[in-house]
A and B are shown apart, each in its own frame.
Chain A
Amino acid sequence: MKPNLEVEIAGIKLKNPVMTASGTFGSGFEYSNFVDLSRLGAIVTKGVTLKEQSGNPPPRIHETACGMLNSIGLQNKGVENFITEDLKFLGKFDTPVIVNVAGRTVEEYVKVAEKLSEHDAVKGLELNISCPNVKAGGLAFGSDVEFAIKLTSTVRKATKLPLIVKLSPNVGNIEEIARGVENAGADAVSLINTLLGMAIDIESFEPQLANIVGGLSGPAIKPVAVEMIWRVSNVINIPIIGMGGIANYRDAIEFFLAGASAIAIGTANFTNPEITIKVVEKLEEFLKIKGIKNILDIVGQVKI
């Protein structure tokens, strides 16, 4: 019998638990040559802000052992252009679209959330309170419990859409923030965003990134993500979308066992543009071989 891969996150029904991680998949268009977007659990878009943002100067990336640093700086065309161009394209597929929302002030997040709420093609919002590459907003919100709570509860009042809050690993106590945003009305949390990092060119003595610091992603951060998901899953009742270095189905299984109800694939898309669909197929195969009927049966089942 075919195992059941369907999950429901924050009230959004997904045909399988494999999503794309914000910022690594554009708005789907660029990858539509390689994968049938209708087969994805959900598409999480690149971060969208109220006004167009130019992003950081290059170089914006640097490859590290088993990972990469990035400092894109939320380059995007702004919410209006996103709606007329990207959303129009994404609306053609039978896959829920979750829009990653970013801003410099609470008001900006609210305005973007309100504009997106007018469109049926948007099935959920992911609040980006953890981008390490922008000075105001972003990480500044994510590392401050009070602010994360204020932002979540304010946006909660502004939209009926399912609300996911993306958490930063660059904090002292991630459980406290997870509990805070749960109480403030978040329907789910996603974790982890990138880890702050830095690399230096030993010839020029200059930082490898023009922005000096950036966010570390890729297989190097996977154990950090698994641990944080496990820890957070013990203190909250809303679902977790797990991400951070997933490069194959075995990695994905670890995230489910640690407590994630869905997973997102990010940097691995760069290595293999078809990786998302491959993970869906291999997950199904794994469950079948193990005789597990439902993906939900392994969520949080790590034996301690």
Chain B
Amino acid sequence: MVHTKAKVLSKEEVVDNIFKLRFFCPEIASSVAPGQFVHVECGKDKSFILRRPFSVHRQINKDVFEILFQVVGKGTSSLAEMEIGCRLSVIGPLGNGFEVSNDCKSNLLIAGGIGVAPLVFLAEKLLSAEIDFDMLIGCINCKKVIPFELQNNIRDRVYYATDDGSLGFEGTTADLLLEYLRQNGKPSKIFACGPEPMLKRVALIAGQNEISCFLSLEERMACGVGACLSCVCKTKSGYKRVCADGPIFNASDIIWD
């Protein structure tokens, strides 16, 4: 991990309130793995002092990476206002990342809302390693679908769920998972990222079906490097740090409230 400056190369509001920022930062882009995150200084306004953690969304090449984020508060608002060319202080790559193995015959990637961010990076890695996968993506409605770039030949492997049925399956992402399992049988591994209620249900379904399942978790973070013990989640072996022990956890280890 390094603490360095990353230059904003481009900024795009890909859909209402969801932004994609592209950074030039060889120190991080060259070594980041899917599921890892960066801890970003979000503005010059000294009234907020904490960095914000973002999963790496895509590794464009060995010099350039992207993050995808939703504007939810002052930190992300400020980040969305960054101008092209400015240089931000960034710490990364941080966290453990997703563990993929070649012997996994079928992988299922499940994203809810902005949770698609790290899974696109994972999908790209799986593609280049020629490892098979399908992808389930949930969102409120067809207007909120977050567009992302993936090779065209995998479009038929991506299934959508919307609350109103305006795109794909009508229902929640977890409902789509049940439907997927009925039609396709069990994948060897599930990787999921999304809101907590979704992750909780995905973990439950994976447990009931004895499918190995890994979740990307989120928690309010201060240091980002494992020192302050702010961002903990409850596991079978006590509180674990989302930043340093995660953010990827085996779903069967998590204790939900």
Contact = CB atoms under 8 A, between A and B. Distances in A.
Interface of A: 23-26, 30-31, 33-34, 46, 54-55, 57-63, 65-68, 70, 72, 75, 218-219, 247, 267-274
B239 A30 contact: no
Contacts of A269: 223, 227
B220 A219 contact: no
Contacts of A63: 48-50, 220
Interface stretch (B116-124, B166-174, B228-236): B228-236
Say whether chain A's binding surface is mostly helix, strand, loop, or mixed: loop
A72 B3 contact: no
B51 interface: yes
Contact of A273 (B3, B230, B232): B3
Interface string B220-257: 11111111111111100011000010000000000000
Contacts, number: 99
B104 interface: no
A271 B3 contact: no
Given A58-B232, A61-B222, A70-B230, A274 B3 contact: yes
B89 interface: yes
Given A54-B239, A55-B239, A68-B49, 8 more contacts: A23-B228, A25-B227, A31-B227, A54-B238, A59-B220, A60-B229, A66-B49, A270-B50
A68 B91 CA distance: 20
B219 interface: yes
Say whether chain B's binding surface is mostly helix, strand, loop, or mixed: loop
B49 A218 contact: yes
Nearest to A34: B3
Nearest to A55: B239
B230 A219 contact: no
B206 to A, nearest CB: 23
B228 A24 contact: yes
Given A65-B47, A219-B46, A30 B3 contact: no
Interface residues of B, number: 31
B14 to A, nearest CB: 26
Contacts of B49: 63, 66-68, 218-219, 247, 267-268, 270-271
Nearest to B257: A57
18 contacts: A24-B228, A26-B226, A31-B225, A54-B239, A55-B229, A55-B232, A58-B220, A58-B230, A58-B232, A60-B232, A61-B228, A66-B49, A67-B49, A68-B49, A70-B230, A270-B222, A271-B49, A273-B91
A218 to B, nearest CB: 5
A37 to B, nearest CB: 13
Interface in B40-60: 41, 46-51
Most A CB atoms within 10 A — which of B41, B221, B227, B244? B227
Given A67-B49, A271-B41, A271-B49, A75 B232 contact: yes
A54 B235 CA distance: 11
